[in-house]
Amino acid sequence: MNPLEQLRLATRREFLTTAASGLGGVALSSMLSDEMASAGNANPTLTHSTHFEPRAKACIFIYMAGGPSHVDLFDPKPVLNRRDGQSMPESMLKDVEFAFIKKGDAVLKGSPAEFHRRGESGIEFSDLIPNIGSCADDIALIRTMHGEQFNHHPGQLLLSCGKAELGRPTIGSWLLYGLGNESQNLPGYVVLTAGRGASGGSSNWASGFLPSTYQGVPFRGQGDPVLYLSNPPGVRRTNQRRALDTIAEMNNLRREAMGDAEIASRTAQYELAFRMQSAAPELTDLSGETQATLDAYGLGRATPRPTADMQSGDTYHRFSTNCLLARRLVERGVRFVNIVHASWDQHGNLKHDLAWNARMADQPVAALLRDLKQRGLLEDTLVVWGSEFGRTPLGQGNDGRDHHPNAFSMWMAGGGAKGGTVHGTTDEIGWAPVDKPVHVNDFQATLLRLFGLDHERLAINYRGLQARLTNLEGNVIHDVIAGRN
């Protein structure tokens, strides 16, 4: 048994029950202790130590599941447009797998979108996302993302967990494990969904082999924001209070009799639950926001009529609300917010559906960036736009693209990310990286680094291996990290 594991076991009770403080903070400190001992650098307040000086405190991960098309949104390819309708050399197709495209009939498909330079940095963004484009100077855009999973769920697992395997912790779980939760009244890892769920379902916010304390907690669009938050019918806050007082009193008596500290932890969790019962509705009560803010995020926008493959209803409004809630969560000390939206899988109807999605996301995401910046929160809040893969420069049918993990785009802003940067270049049709490729694991290593965590050391022993988010891979991409002012 390694020392970390011993410490974890010895302090297990504390770990598993101190949801509001830095559980993993202690874990981390124990990992660091060896090193500090050798450096003679004793630090008595270890709880929130990190491996490096952290740049980010919170993360808003905008999880665009399905595979948004990089060549239509982030990575302009004039050559692709010129070669529209031509087939690709067989040599390039040899080792590639597709989910649906038949290699024999596939031809290149130019982009229906126009691109323009944005901001002082002049990064080119598609006209489908003009507002996001207007934040170019805060965005570090990586055009050479790549993975090896060409189906949705495995690709999402790779992005969420570092490996296309079920049963592993997701990014938010690792952050919470390493850094703890600063909110006294809310869970540290919150999931917001709009429209239909991602194909990975709950595995996109699972804690895997980490304790379930580190699981993402889905906040709901309907009913209680947190499952079972409301008291049962007829039970008011005063009744609940008296019930909890009785429970605490009885638990204390039992603790006297049995001498088990776990009983006190249980009482503490009930108290936290009670606080959450007022904190969560306060969070979702937007009456304190100005009309200007609500309008900026696009709350109350009508949702245009979607095509058959898309969800209808009030998706636009809900996505806008989620972006605003993300800011409110971060303001309240929540560590990781996952905004999931899953309709980017344009095998057909690309022209319409891509524009529909882009319109849904463009205004609120840009509003979020501006709002965070204006409030001084962007500095230590990392905002990520991510997806499990991009889409093929080859067309699928008349108006679609297939899954494409060989090259796609993701971006980050704030939290120490270097704004106004483009990292990496893909070839002239957006097929594969030609310069500075960034594997999904590299991205994850970089994300952890922005939180002051070393992806090679944030690890726990699982089935005989030192398991970590980046699996056995990952290199920090220093080029997308801003220098210190």
Span 231-260, contacts to another protein by CB under 8 A: 231-236, 238-240, 242-243, 246-247, 249-251, 253-254, 257-260
Report, in Å, the least distance between residue 234 CB and another protein.
3
CA dihedral sign of residues 160, 172, 419, 55 = negative
Report, in Å, the least distance between residue 77 CB and another protein.
24
User: Does residue number 270 form part of the binding site for another protein (CB under 8 A)?
Assistant: yes
C-alpha 47 chain-centroid distance = 24
Span near another protein by CB under 8 A; candidates 29-37, 82-90, 102-110, 132-140: 29-37
- Interface of this chain with another protein, residues 317 to 356, rule: CB under 8 A: 342
Q: What is the DSSP letter of 357?
A: H
User: Does residue number 441 form part of the binding site for another protein (CB under 8 A)?
Assistant: no
Best CA proximity match to 444, nearest among 466, 418, 473, 421? 473
User: Does residue number 47 form part of the binding site for another protein (CB under 8 A)?
Assistant: no
Span near another protein by CB under 8 A; candidates 175-183, 193-201, 295-303, 354-362: 193-201
- Tokens 């740049």, residue located: 55
Span near another protein by CB under 8 A; candidates 15-23, 54-62, 289-297, 474-482: 15-23
- Interface of this chain with another protein, residues 274 to 293, rule: CB under 8 A: 276-277
- Tokens 């901001």, residue located: 119
C-alpha 149 chain-centroid distance = 18
Span near another protein by CB under 8 A; candidates 364-372, 427-435, 441-449, 457-465: 457-465
Instruction: Please report which helix (H) or strand (E) contains residue 386, including its range.
Output: strand 381-386
Report, in Å, the least distance between residue 106 CB and another protein.
14
User: Does residue number 267 form part of the binding site for another protein (CB under 8 A)?
Assistant: yes
Binding mask 70-99 for another protein (x = CB under 8 A): ---------------------------xxx
User: Does residue number 403 form part of the binding site for another protein (CB under 8 A)?
Assistant: yes
Q: Is beta strand 115-118 parallel, antiparallel or unpaired with respect to 123-126?
A: antiparallel
| Angstrom distances, CA of residue 329 to CA of 125, 297, 348, 376 | 29, 15, 36, 15
Give every CB contact of residue 432 below 8 A, 6+ residues apart in sequence.
Answer: 146, 406, 407, 426
- Choose between 166 and 434: whose C-beta lies nearer to another protein: 166
Give every CB contact of residue 465 below 8 A, 6+ residues apart in sequence.
Answer: none
Q: Determine which residue in the list 147, 221, 415, 474 makes contact with another protein, applying CB under 8 A.
A: 221
- Interface of this chain with another protein, residues 415 to 434, rule: CB under 8 A: none
What does the alpha-carbon distance between residue 264 and residue 434 come to, in Å, rounded to a whole number?
58
- Interface of this chain with another protein, residues 159 to 178, rule: CB under 8 A: 166-167
Span near another protein by CB under 8 A; candidates 170-178, 209-217, 315-323, 416-424: 209-217
Best CA proximity match to 23, nearest among 173, 154, 123? 173
Binding mask 98-117 for another protein (x = CB under 8 A): xxx-----------------
Q: Determine which residue in the list 201, 237, 282, 475 makes contact with another protein, applying CB under 8 A.
A: 201
- Choose between 293 and 311: whose C-beta lies nearer to another protein: 311
Span near another protein by CB under 8 A; candidates 68-76, 219-227, 290-298, 438-446: 219-227
C-alpha 98 chain-centroid distance = 26
- Choose between 116 and 237: whose C-beta lies nearer to another protein: 237
N-terminal to C-terminal alpha carbon distance within the chain: 43
CB 128 within 8 A of CB 121: no
| Angstrom distances, CA of residue 150 to CA of 29, 155, 162, 407, 441 | 38, 6, 15, 11, 16
- Using alpha carbons only, give the angle 251, 252, 254 rounded to the nearest 5 degrees: 65
